[in-house]
Amino acid sequence: MDFDHDVVVIGGGIAGITAAQFSARENLNTLVLEELANGGQALLVNDLENYPGFSEPISGIDFAMRLEKQARSFGVQFKSATATKLEKNDTGFIISAGKKTITARGVLLATGSTHKTLGIPGESEYEGKGVSYCGTCDGPFFKNRKILVIGGGDNACEEAEFLSKLTDKLTLIHRGSDFRAQKALSARVKSNPRVSVLLSTICREIRGTDRVRSVVLENAVSGDKTEAQFDGVFIFIGSTPRTELVPDLKKDDYGYLITDETLATEVPGLYAAGDVRSMSFRSLVSGAADGALAAHNLARYLYKEN
C-alpha cells in the first residue's frame, strides 16, 4: 500500500512539532495536523523564562514561530485541519480530516488538553464578556481594572503574575489552604504587592448585566458568602486531555493516555506525547522531551516493521 506519509503527528504544540522535527530527521515523510495555530499552549505564555537555552525571556508566540521554522527546515509539512477520526488497518492508519482522508504508516498523538471549567452559574454566559481562560489573550482588555484569578496550580500563579503587570487590583483565590504550584511560583505571587491572595475561598457564581460585574465568593471553612465587584474573571483550574480520537485506549484515573516507557500506546504504531499522556510533570520542557522520545521510538518501530 502506498501511504501519503510515513508519520502523521496530530497536534501542533511543542510536543507535536518537536516530534515531527525528530521524525523528519529520521528521513521519514512527516506531516503535522493542527486545527488551530501551531505552538499550542506555548502561545499563551507571555514571557517564557524557564526553557533551556534562553538567557532572556522570550514570548510564547516567538518561541512557537521558531519551533515551526526549524521543523520546516528539516522537511516537516504542516496542514491546518481537524482530525475527526483515526482508524487502524492491517498496514497502517487512516486519518479523517474534514472531507479528506490521510494515510500514514505511523501516528503520533500530541493533541494536548483543554481548560477545565468551574461549571458555576454565569461562567458560560459571560465567557468572552469578562470570563476568560487566557491571561495573555484577554488581559490587556482589563488594564487598571479589578481582576479575579481562580486556581492554585502553576498556571494560575504564572497568569496572576502576568496580569498583575496590568493592574494592582488583582485577587487570586484558591479553594485549598495552600497553593499546589511550585514553591518558587507560589512564593513569588504571595510576595507580589499587586496581588491579594485569598486561600480557602470558592467562587460560587459570576454575575453581571451585559458583562461581568461581580462574583459570589464562599469561605470554604465557615461557609460564609460575600459578593465582590470584579470586571474580569480568569479561570485556571486544570485541563482535560484531548482523547476523542482514541476513546477506547487505556487511560489513567484523570483520562490521560497510558503509554509504555517508549511512549507507545497499546495500538502498534500509535504513540503519544505531551499533555495528552499520563505523566507526573507537565511543562514545555517535558513536552519537547516527550516529542523527541516518541518520534525516536516510532521511527525504530517503523524501520523494524519495514
pLDDT surpasses 90 at 279: no
Residue 133: which pLDDT band, with cuts at 50, 70 and 90? confident
pLDDT for residue 32: 97
Q: Same CATH fold, 117-235 and 5-114+239-305? A: yes
pLDDT for residue 216: 98
160-178 mean pLDDT: 96
140-167 mean pLDDT: 94
Amino acid identity of residue 287, one-letter, is G
pLDDT surpasses 90 at 12: yes
Which of helix, strand or coil describes residue 67? helix
Domain coordinates of the chain in residue numbers?
Answer: 5-114+239-305, 117-235
Return the axis-axis angle of helices 14-25 and 60-73, rounded to nearest 10°: 20
Return the axis-axis angle of helices 14-25 and 284-305, rounded to nearest 10°: 40
Rounded-to-integer distance, Cα 69 and Cα 76, Å: 9
Look up residue 289 and give its three cell numbers: 522531551
Residue 1: which pLDDT band, with cuts at 50, 70 and 90? low
Rounded-to-integer distance, Cα 218 and Cα 208, Å: 18
Nearest Cα neighbor of 169 from 128, 228, 113, 99 is 228
Rounded-to-integer distance, Cα 139 and Cα 234, Å: 9
Residue 290: which pLDDT band, with cuts at 50, 70 and 90? very high
The mean-pLDDT minimum among 55-59, 171-175, 278-282 falls in: 278-282
pLDDT surpasses 70 at 150: yes
Phi first, then psi, for residue 157 (nearest 5°) are -70, -40
pLDDT in tens, 219-247: 999 999 999 999 999 999 988 899 999 99
pLDDT in tens, 82-110: 999 999 998 999 999 988 999 999 999 99
**Full-model pTM:** 0.74
pLDDT surpasses 70 at 46: no
Rounded-to-integer distance, Cα 239 and Cα 153, Å: 11
pLDDT for residue 306: 67
The CA distances from residue 10 to 79, 176, 247, in Å, are: 10, 36, 15
Q: Are 142 and 304 in contact (CB under 8 A)?
A: no
pLDDT surpasses 90 at 69: yes
- Please, is 156 exposed, middle or buried when counting C-beta atoms within 10 Å of its C-beta (0-12, 13-18, 19+)? buried
Instruction: For the domain covering 117-235, report its CATH number.
Output: 3.50.50.60
Q: Are 30 and 105 in contact (CB under 8 A)?
A: no
pLDDT surpasses 80 at 139: yes
- Please, is 32 exposed, middle or buried when counting C-beta atoms within 10 Å of its C-beta (0-12, 13-18, 19+)? buried
Average pLDDT, the chain: 93
pLDDT in tens, 17-34: 999 999 999 999 999 999
Q: Is 229 left (phi over 0), alpha (psi -120 to 50) or beta?
A: beta
pLDDT for residue 283: 78
pLDDT for residue 288: 94
pLDDT surpasses 90 at 250: yes
Can you list the positions of beta strands (E) in 127-231? 131-132, 147-150, 170-174, 195-199, 201-208, 212-219, 225-229
- Tell me yes or no: is domain 5-114+239-305 CATH 3.50.50.60: yes
